[in-house]
Amino acid sequence: MIITRTPFRISFFGGGSDYPNFFREHGGSVLSTSIDKYCYLTCRYLPPFFDHKYRVRYTRREETQTIDEIQHPSVRACLKHLNFTKGVEVLHTSDLPAMSGIGSSSAFTVGLLKSLHAMKGRTLTKKELCLEALEIEQDHLKEHVGSQDQAVASFGGFNRIDFSEKRKINVLPMNIDASKLEHLQDHLMLFFTGFSRIAAHIAQEQIDQTPFKIRELSMMKEMVDEATEILKFSSFIDFGKLLHESWMLKKSLTSKISTPEIDSLYETARRAGAVGGKLCGAGGGGFMLLFVQPEKQKQVKKALKKLVEVPFRFEDLGSQFIHNSPVDTGNMEGNQDELYPVILQK
């Protein structure tokens, strides 16, 4: 049995410049961090006692005889990509809801690939894991996704990530004093807006509009440099102000990125003391990140009392094994002491 824990992420600046149709020509950069909220996956070979060969549990439960019958796109694609022929069980659970802008789909794919490779006795480097997740999502599934989520889930940490060409990704950890990093975290609040959306639909419109939004996307990319300088040399209040500027630019990319309800919530937070903020991910709903001075956080929380606040901290490990024991229970001709050690010891 393999159990993996893969972090979700918050993107501060540069989101949108990580889509291949932009960065292949103009280059891309994002500033983002993984956080201590996770996707958990448990994978094992399924013993041959059932009337199905594959079992997948997430918001649904699937039991099938073939990989092609599996409805979950990432599970189906990963099992086919790695040429699994024996029965497999995949169980998923999560700290935060899906489709909420925190990179949940890529965290799932990264964690699943890490688990399935371990079942075959292989360990990937963080870079290999990232590139394979990109291949699955962008090439096999043809999903309208950027390229930062896979990198953050694989590498973990607070990073600047640069993109060029098809799969050239450079992950640069932000070398910031630990006390400064703590100070930054103390200024951040995360709220769940409760509005669901399909990121791919919003991303598709943004991709379609890219040729007409080169100036805006280039400005958003350049804000990564500006934010980096602020973190090293300036007041953190300027970081919050830059978040506001970036959000105003991002909203101009397509009409689907925000809604009147989201705009109202954001303005309510600003009136209560938030310096700046943004919706996480493609937009349209999900989690709202706010930059708020600690002494004003109570009044912001009161103003947004109808929303769920999610306390969080940064993390720096990326996708990790919680348990790694790739016993092949599909091979009933194997050593039974190895297949069922706990049962036999009793």
**Cα 293 to Cα 316: distance, rounded to the nearest angstrom:** 24
**Cα 63 to Cα 163: distance, rounded to the nearest angstrom:** 39
Residue 201: which pLDDT band, with cuts at 50, 70 and 90?
A: low
**Cα 98 to Cα 214: distance, rounded to the nearest angstrom:** 30
Average pLDDT value for residue range 315-325: 95
For the record, the structure tokens of 276 come out as: 């700046």
Residue 87: which pLDDT band, with cuts at 50, 70 and 90?
A: very high
**Cα 34 to Cα 11: distance, rounded to the nearest angstrom:** 9
| 163 within 8 A of 26, measured Cβ to Cβ | no
For the record, the structure tokens of 299 come out as: 């009044």
**φ, ψ at 323 (rounded to 5°):** -145, 135
For the record, the structure tokens of 306 come out as: 């109808």
Q: Pick from 177, 30, 43: which is nearest to 118 by CA?
A: 43
Domains, in order of start, for the chain: 2-322 (3.30.230.120)
Residue 165: which pLDDT band, with cuts at 50, 70 and 90?
A: confident
User: Is 197 a residue whose pLDDT tops 50?
Assistant: yes
**Cα 195 to Cα 262: distance, rounded to the nearest angstrom:** 9
Mean pLDDT, the chain, integer = 90
User: Is 296 a residue whose pLDDT tops 60?
Assistant: yes
Q: What is the pLDDT of residue 340?
A: 35
Instruction: Note the helical H segments in 82-213.
Output: 104-119, 126-134, 148-155, 178-185, 199-209
For the record, the structure tokens of 135 come out as: 């291949």
State the helix-helix crossing angle for 126-134 and 104-119, rounded to 10 degrees. Answer: 120
Average pLDDT value for residue range 33-53: 95
Average pLDDT value for residue range 246-269: 91
